[in-house]
Amino acid sequence: MKQELISIYKILLNHFGPQGWWPADDEFEVIIGAILTQATSWKNVEKSIDNLKNERVLNPSGLYKISTKKLAGLIRPSLYYNVKAKKLKSFVNFLYKEYDGNLNLMLSQANEKLRTQLLDIWGIGPETADSILLYAANKKTFVIDAYTRRIFYRLGFIGKNSSYDEIKNFFEGNLPKRVKLYKEYHALIVKLGKDYCKKEPLCKECPVRKLCKISLINLPSSSPIQPFPYTLSL
DNA sequence: GGCCAGGACACCA
DNA sequence: TGGTGTCATGGC
């Protein structure tokens, strides 16, 4: 099992190249983006991030002071803006209550402690919590999203009704525990999902299966799938 | 013009 | 716990 998971990672990295996640200027922006991108395309989130930057409120004190109503107006492009404004507020309120607004102090907490605290915040579920832990706090936590479920179910690694924690444990138990690997792997899964794995039902010509099977053997030079010269550092 | 995004929560049985 | 409705913009 370990080798297959690593092989798929290598295939994806060769095929797509490094994804450079998370696209953000600082850790706070990572967290805000993680909340805004819930069930929303990243392009829409970028517009909201720009709005927040232009208003100079993309920082703990800025979001702490701004009204929920005005905040909702700024993040309008990223869908469900009223509930997301409340979610952002609830996170920042937590940050001030527990850590006096000190983000670095929050991020320096132990993995499990911080995960429990994040999950306790209204509006932050398992995927958002793990995204914050991995990409903002650099904790060894694998992120599971809809693409991960869909793709690895189709590849036959997990059951249709596997729980979030079951899938998370599957990845963490079968991969070298490296933050850099976790970050890149999840980003590559999302890239694969966006490009090849929409919601259509499983079929024999599933592009994901196809990609993996083709890439597991030596590619002829005439193959349309050309490996990129990226080196691996697991 | 329709479909659906890098989820989470409330409410129901 | 599992299934379903709600939220409500903009890109493709």
Give me the A residues in range 103-162 that sit within 7 A (CB) of strand C: 161
Q: Is the Cα torsion angle A129, A132, A134, A140 positive or negative in sign?
A: negative
Decide if A14 contacts A179 (C-beta within 8 A): no
Place of tokens 């919601």: A199
Helix (H), strand (E) at residue A145 = none
Q: Which residue is nearest to nucleotide B3 (CA to C1')?
A: A199
Residue A115 in contact with residue A124, Cβ under 8 Å? no
The set of strand B positions with any atom below 7 Å of a protein CB reads: 4-10
Buried b (16+ CB within 10 A) or exposed e, A140-155: ebbbbbebbbbbbbbe
Domains with residue ranges and CATH for chain A: 27-118 (1.10.340.30)
Distance A80 CA to C5 C1' (A): 15
CA–CA distance, A166 with A43 (Å, rounded to integer): 30
- Alpha-carbon span A22 to A135, nearest angstrom: 6
Nearest residue to A191 (alpha-carbon basis) of A208, A169, A216: A208
pLDDT by residue, tens only, chain A of 234 residues: 678 889 889 888 988 899 999 999 999 999 999 999 999 999 999 999 999 999 999 999 999 999 999 999 999 999 999 999 999 999 999 999 999 999 999 999 999 999 999 999 999 999 999 999 999 999 999 999 999 998 888 888 888 889 999 999 999 999 999 999 999 999 999 999 888 876 655 544 566 666 666 555 555 555 554 554 444 443
How big is chain A by its Cα radius of gyration, in Å?
Answer: 19
